[in-house]
A and B are shown apart, each in its own frame.
Chain A
Amino acid sequence: MTSMRTLPHVDRVGVAERVAALGKRSIKGDAKRQGLLLAISMLDLTTLEGADTPGKVRQLAAKAVTPSPAYPEMPSCAAVCVYPAMVSVARDAVAGTGVHVASVATGFPAGQTPLATRLEEVRLAVADGADEIDMVISRDAYLRGDDAVVRSEIEAVKDACGDAHLKVILETVELGSYDHVRHASMLAMDAGADFIKTSTGKAAEGATPGVILVMLEAIRDYVERTGRVVGMKPAGGVSTSKAALGVLVLVKETLGDEWLTPDLLRIGASSVLNDLLLQYAKTESGRYGRAEDFSKE
């Protein structure tokens, strides 16, 4: 049984022009320095590999807690993001630091496992100490037009999360158009998402500025309509400092300064952290840096 769907209207060319304009904001001096620190504090430092081991996860967690010992003023990252099997390792590694543990439960990244399995995965991850769950929506249900299934699954996962925060991944590149990105954003928020998140990082394309803008606009509408505040997490594709600062610009000029906090804005990435550190070092020393100045993990 499919739902009768009325898609919102989003004009792709208009979106492209707006993000191009915002992409030209010049971030220099203090704004850049503060922006880099802000971006670091919003990172969900992520490792999602088949080859992840407890050792790798512990190293990543240490880096999330102290991104660079050379700069004591530097904040910790917001969270480490790992597969469910690594949650307990990550939890132990960040214990007492304020860094959150996020886990991609729900048959990540395809979501093609039975709902019961996904819900159990969520419950186990939370039990192991994840305080944030990044779920994927059922793209198969979405693409066949069954919004009701998408919604009820999100509600079920939200219920399984208990106190853990729920980030709902739309995997926007698979939805096919901005109209759908916006529609799916609304669907996820209506179903109880605490954050909406662009991508798994495992598909052909991740968080493009256009997709981020459309989702931010959806959040603004949703908050205006319901009063419930929802956060945003671009993930996949934010791999340079320029891109990370670009996210801050998009959020600042769409949702406003109130959203420039790790409580409401996260950036899912792994490799971007070292570029942020390099750029930060440059703002402090005036010298262009090199990769060896920072640990890889």
Chain B
Amino acid sequence: MRWDYSPAPESTDHVRLRDRYGLFIGGEFVEADAYAPTINPATEEPLAEIAQASAADVARAVDAARAAAPGWAALSGLERGKYVFRIARLIQERARELAIVETLDGGKPIKESRDIDIPLAAAHFFYYAGWADKLAYGVPVPPARGAVRPRGVVGQVIPWNFPLLMAAWKLAPALATGNTAVLKPADTTPLTALLLAEILQEAELPDGVVNIVPGDGSAGAALVRGAVDKVAFTGSTAVGRDIQAALAGRDVGLTLELGGKSANIVFEDAALEQAVEGIVQGIFFNQGHVCCAGSRLLVQESVAEQVVDRLWARMQSLRVGDPLDKNTDVGAINSAAQLSRIGELVAAGVEEGAGLRQVSCSLPDRGFWFAPALFTEASPAHRVSREEIFGPVLTVTTFRTHAEAVEKANNSPYGLAAGIWTDKGSKAFEVAAQLRSGVVWQNTYNHFDPTAAFGGFKESGFGREGGAAGLRPYVKVEGE
């Protein structure tokens, strides 16, 4: 008998979006000269008109942050922390609304916004709130050299793949350490950042401590080149490179969380059922729009056929479609531009002979969609094995020995994450020690936690977010 799930769309009744959103500067929404619609990538319908910050707007926001800095830094850690705790609580209270808006604006499945993005965003604020009055324990400083101090005004530019979560990763440590901030959300996913602005108002965060300036890349470029004391960027390696070059010769702190081409290594002694599930989570989570996606599957030759067969069978059960449906596993591609970038790289893979297999499933007529895909004969030299696709596309390459696995995993300019699947603990730790990557998941993949540092080696960027390590980039030692 054929028994299938009926459509189970999350109700959007609870969501009240305004028709238009201005810039959030100095604690209030202000008008901009230009507006652009933000659309739902699953339907291509506009959701709201969003202010597009000009360079002058960005400068105004930086000024507001500058004006707010002394007062904010002068607050005791405990009081500062209380504001951050409030933000965490308000996010929890508005979790359902935020989840729906995240899915509407970005195309990710509601189950991910609901169970991962929004709870983790709240958890980040909650975690860093508690650091505010404990900074001296989190950033060890020799007693003779005084205390840790905020850097001042930080400029933060975030991507479209985890909009609210990335805002939380940026703002929570900045606020806890006593900095004021100007945040530039991604142009395709500004909505939850603007709802966060409402939350900041509701939390009565002092005016100007956080300013949010939606806009396109030009607003981000203006912000990182502006009169800020520190820049934090999450996004592509190409843009990260530009930012580092733009800041050349200036004493501006910089942390970069950039791209990746992370290896997911499956050894023959792995728990294969769970490994297959981990491969699926590694690459199809959030449509593969994940900087640490396990986009290169390295599988030991002795089990390669078995793993690929099982993976291919498992891919057939992925439910692709309406992101608001609670049973959807893979949602919409975030934008037309990203869809075309994925399409171009996949076409290159086909041209190179990397052996494309793509799930055949019915996709909605409108919106941006890409069915989960697999390159089963990817050679390490192929473009699809080297360049970040940032979509639901996995390459499969085999290896014979663990030394070869390590060599292949490290053979990339990136160094963000890796997965290791083996039932042998000693091997898992031996291989982890040899991988040049900032996160290593053993027998799991794509787990995140505010207490655990995240960030890359090599061209995946520098600096860490999460944990005590995430405090360090936001402070300096008084008297330096």
In the complex the two chains form, is B443's CB within 8 Å of A252's CB? Answer: no
- Chain A contacts to B: CB under 8 angstroms: 8-11, 13-15, 17-18, 24-32, 34-35, 38, 217, 248, 252-253, 257, 260-261
In the complex the two chains form, is A14's CB within 8 Å of B327's CB? Answer: no
In the assembled complex, B3 has its CB within 8 A of some CB on chain A? yes
In the assembled complex, B271 has its CB within 8 A of some CB on chain A? yes
**Max chain A C-beta neighbours (<10 A), residue from B2, B271, B272:** B271
Closest chain-A Cβ to B414's Cβ sits at a distance in Å of: 26
In the assembled complex, B133 has its CB within 8 A of some CB on chain A? no
In the complex the two chains form, is B274's CB within 8 Å of A18's CB? Answer: yes
Encoded as 1 (CB less than 8 Å from any A CB) or 0, chain B from 350 to 364 comes to: 000000000000000
Task: Determine the main DSSP class of B at the interface with A.
Answer: loop
Give the residue name and chain of the B residue nearest to A178 (CB): B271
Complex CA distance for A17 and B271, rounded to whole angstroms: 14
A10 in complex: contacting residue of B2, B8, B111, B271, CB < 8 Å: B271
Across-interface contacts of A18 in B (CB, < 8 A): 274, 277
Identify 25 residue pairs between A and B in the complex whose beta-carbon atoms are under 8 Å apart, listed by A's number.
Answer: A8-B271, A9-B270, A9-B272, A10-B273, A11-B271, A13-B443, A13-B444, A14-B271, A14-B277, A15-B274, A25-B5, A25-B327, A26-B8, A26-B326, A26-B327, A27-B6, A28-B6, A29-B6, A31-B3, A31-B5, A217-B273, A248-B3, A252-B3, A257-B2, A260-B3
> 6 new A-B pairs (CB below 8 Å) besides A11-B271, A27-B5, A28-B6?
A14-B444, A15-B274, A24-B326, A27-B8, A28-B5, A30-B6
* A-B residue pairs, 9 tightest by C-beta: A14-B274, A26-B8, A9-B271, A9-B423, A26-B326, A29-B6, A31-B6, A11-B271, A11-B274
Closest chain-A Cβ to B459's Cβ sits at a distance in Å of: 31
Closest chain-B Cβ to A279's Cβ sits at a distance in Å of: 15
Given the interface pairs A11-B271, A11-B274, A260-B1, the reply to whether A24 lies near B115 with Cβ below 8 Å is yes
Encoded as 1 (CB less than 8 Å from any A CB) or 0, chain B from 1 to 28 comes to: 1111111100000000000000000000
Given the interface pairs A14-B443, A24-B111, A26-B327, the reply to whether A257 lies near B3 with Cβ below 8 Å is yes
Q: Interface residue tally of chain B, by bracket?
A: 20 to 34
Across-interface contacts of A257 in B (CB, < 8 A): 1-3
Closest chain-A Cβ to B279's Cβ sits at a distance in Å of: 11
In the complex the two chains form, is A11's CB within 8 Å of B443's CB? Answer: yes
Across-interface contacts of A11 in B (CB, < 8 A): 271, 274, 423, 443
Across-interface contacts of B6 in A (CB, < 8 A): 27-32
Give the residue name and chain of the A residue nearest to B329 (CB): A21
Give the residue name and chain of the B residue nearest to A24 (CB): B111
